Amino acid sequence: MFALLSLIAVGSATSVAFGQDLGAFSYPGTQTAGAHWEPQFGSGPVRVEALDDGSTCLVLEAEFTAEKERACWDWVAPLNLAGEGRVAFEVSGTGRALIGTAIVYFGTPNGWYARAWDVGAGEGWVRQDLSLGTFGTEGEPDGWDSVQRFRF
């Protein structure tokens, strides 16, 4: 299970202000979150949970029954990240040592920007701060100003 707290743009742009929450993980409840997230490859639906500090997080839960199984969820909304230098989010999860690698994608009509990292074992929240310049590509992405989908 992974719980994601927030996705923020870290940079400067006319479309997304520095440090602005992009809204992908901020929902008052599970029903609202489920209307914005599309589970892929048989992944379970998202849900919202309250944290001890009174904030909430988005929970992406998956059960892996075989090696190299994949779980992912798509948040569909247009994003213009052309003026951004980085994106950041906080992630926590149980069974992290079993997962190995996590990948985030930003999809455009003709391709994806992708960035992977080693999840590692451990407990607690970890901030992932990713430079957009370190993302690889799949297909022929249309540019950071043409993002239509975020995939975790």
**pLDDT tens over the chain, length 152 residues:** 444 444 444 433 333 444 556 666 777 888 988 888 899 887 889 888 887 888 788 888 877 777 777 888 999 888 888 888 888 877 777 665 666 678 899 999 999 999 998 776 667 777 788 899 999 999 999 999 999 999 98
What pTM, to 2 d.p., does this model score?
0.80
Q: What is the pLDDT of residue 6?
A: 43
The pLDDT value recorded for residue 108 is: 98
Q: What is the pLDDT of residue 55?
A: 77
Both tokens of 139, joined, read 């297909």
For the CA atoms of 125, 135, 85, 60, what is the dihedral angle to 10 degrees?
-30
Phi, psi of 51 (to 5 degrees): -100, 165
pLDDT of residue 10: 41
- 50 is written with which tokens? 């309250």
In whole angstroms, give the CA distance from residue 126 to residue 119: 10
Contact 76, 36 (CB under 8 A): yes
The sign of the CA dihedral 48, 53, 55, 61 is: negative
Distance of CA 6 to the CA centre of its chain: 8
User: How far apart (Å, rounded) are the C-alpha atoms in residues 59 and 93?
Assistant: 9
Give the three-state DSSP class for 132. helix
